[in-house]
């Protein structure tokens, strides 16, 4: 576990899963820019998580990196324990950890399906349960769906099914937290230039996907992090929604 040398006193606190790369890492840095202390949850890449912590602390922020299997309830509880012990509580939960494997349904290895759904569905339930129990009133929960739920791309069946489950859970949690002034929303990025998205795609496929939105480009992790930062902040009335941050792709 890597810990910053900067203590956060009276700051809002965010837990970001999947915080070592892609959208999660940019989100962690962006929330720190807004003054939040950040717990950077990572699965395996400790060096990348430590780099996020270093970037945050170099700019005067507070951060800690903690390894976590998001589908393990004890491990997720320990992440919240770290946030409470180190920074005093949890105000924002951003659940960005996910797996994506593509296959036609006829060829899908069910072991791959089980592994992906363990992270994407069970992991979301486990993180959301801790958030519901331990988030301070006035906070925010942001989960991640995907615009492919509506786009129905071939070979995305298993992944899209898992993200459809995330959307359903998110909208229900928003209603279950009624009366606590906690917003719960999902962000559904479109094609975004992350390692997870780019893996296994040739240049022609990437160019075709980049040309689909009216903005005619892939999104960037920073684009999506701006949306998350807005939803994590106070002063808005967006709750129980799926925000499709996809450049206008339909």
pLDDT tens per residue across span 148-199: 999 888 999 999 999 999 999 999 999 999 999 999 999 999 988 887 777 7
The percentage of residues in the chain with a pLDDT greater than 70, rounded to a whole number, is: 96
Q: Known catalytic residue: 159?
A: yes
SS3 state at 112: helix
Is there a domain that residue 248 lies in? no
Domain harbouring 12, CATH code:
3.40.50.720
Task: Tell me, yes or no, whether 217 lies in a domain.
Answer: yes
Report how many domains make up the chain.
1
The gap between the terminal CA atoms of the chain, to the nearest Å, is 42
* Cα gap 154→131, rounded to integer Å: 34
Report yes or no on 119 lying in a domain: yes
pLDDT digits (tens, 9 = 90+) for 21-42: 999 999 999 999 999 999 999 9
Confidence grade of residue 49 (pLDDT, cut at 50, 70, 90): very high
Decide: 102 and 155 in contact? Cβ < 8 Å: yes
The residue among 30 and 235 whose pLDDT is bigger is: 30
Does 45 fall in a domain?
A: yes
In a domain, 250, yes or no: no
Predicted confidence at residue 109, as pLDDT, reads 96
Instruction: Please tell me which residue in 42, 87, 144, 159 is annotated as part of the active site.
Output: 159
For residue 194, the model assigns a pLDDT of 82
Query: What range does the domain containing 42 cover?
Result: 2-243
Residue 56 pLDDT > 80: yes
């Amino acid at each position: 576990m890597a810990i910053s040398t900067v203590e956060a006193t009276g700051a809002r606190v965010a837990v970001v899963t999947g915080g070592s790369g892609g959208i999660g890492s940019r989100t962690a840095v962006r929330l720190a820019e807004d003054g939040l202390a950040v717990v950077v949850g990572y699965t395996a890449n400790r060096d990348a998580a430590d780099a996020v912590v270093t970037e945050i602390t170099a700019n005067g922020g507070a951060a800690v990196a903690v390894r976590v299997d998001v589908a393990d309830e004890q491990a997720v509880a320990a992440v919240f324990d770290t946030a409470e012990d180190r920074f005093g509580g949890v105000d924002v939960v951003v659940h960005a950890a996910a797996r994506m494997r593509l296959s036609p349904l006829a060829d899908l290895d069910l072991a791959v399906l089980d592994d992906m759904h363990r992270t994407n569905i069970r992991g979301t339930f486990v993180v959301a349960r801790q958030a519901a129990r331990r988030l301070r009133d006035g906070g925010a929960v942001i989960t991640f769906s995907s615009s492919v739920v509506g786009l129905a791309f071939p070979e995305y069946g298993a992944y899209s099914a898992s993200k459809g489950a995330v959307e359903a859970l998110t909208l229900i949690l928003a209603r279950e937290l009624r009366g606590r002034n906690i917003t719960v929303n999902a962000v559904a990025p479109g094609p975004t230039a992350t390692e997870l998205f780019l893996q296994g795609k040739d240049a022609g496929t990437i160019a075709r996907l980049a040309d689909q939105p009216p903005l005619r480009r892939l999104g960037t992790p920073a684009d999506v992090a701006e949306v998350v930062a807005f939803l994590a902040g106070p002063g808005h009335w967006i709750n129980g929604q799926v925000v499709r941050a996809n450049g206008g792709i339909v």
